[in-house]
Amino acid sequence: MPNLKDMERQSGLLRLLLYLLEGDSYVVKLLHYHDIPNNQLMRSINQLLKLELIVSKPDTSTFPQRKMLSLTEKGKKVARKLREINDMLKQG
């Protein structure tokens, strides 16, 4: 089972969790507007899927279909803790 050691190897994974805490997002939007290189972003998405922290749902209302990423309940809990840690670090 993956753990923190596995997560720290993946660049952008933690930032992606914090980003998705603000709301669901299409993969294509993340590819165009996020500051994580595309190949790293896709590896981060795959790792988060394996950890069951996010889910990917096809949006059949668009053509071509787009994938919507959402945090799972477990993912929301983890992301909230990360945000709490991030906020503490910002305070100094």
pLDDT in tens, 29-88: 888 766 778 888 888 899 999 999 999 999 888 788 889 999 999 999 999 999 998 899
pLDDT at position 81, please?
Answer: 95
Sign of the torsion angle spanned by Cα atoms 10, 74, 28, 33: negative
pLDDT of residue 17: 92
Report the predicted TM-score, pTM, of the whole model to 2 decimal places. 0.83
Domain 4-87 class? Answer: mainly alpha
Query: Dihedral, CA atoms, 79, 83, 84, 87, nearest 10 degrees?
Result: 170
Question: What is residue 10's predicted lDDT score, i.e. its pLDDT?
Answer: 64
Cα–Cα nearest to 22, from 73, 64, 89, 79: 79
Q: How confident is the model at residue 13 (pLDDT cuts 50, 70, 90)?
A: confident
- DSSP letter for 17, please: H
What span, in angstroms and rounded, lies between the C-alpha atoms of 85 and 38? 26
Please report, for the chain, the start and end positions of each structural domain, with discontinuous segments joined by +: 4-87
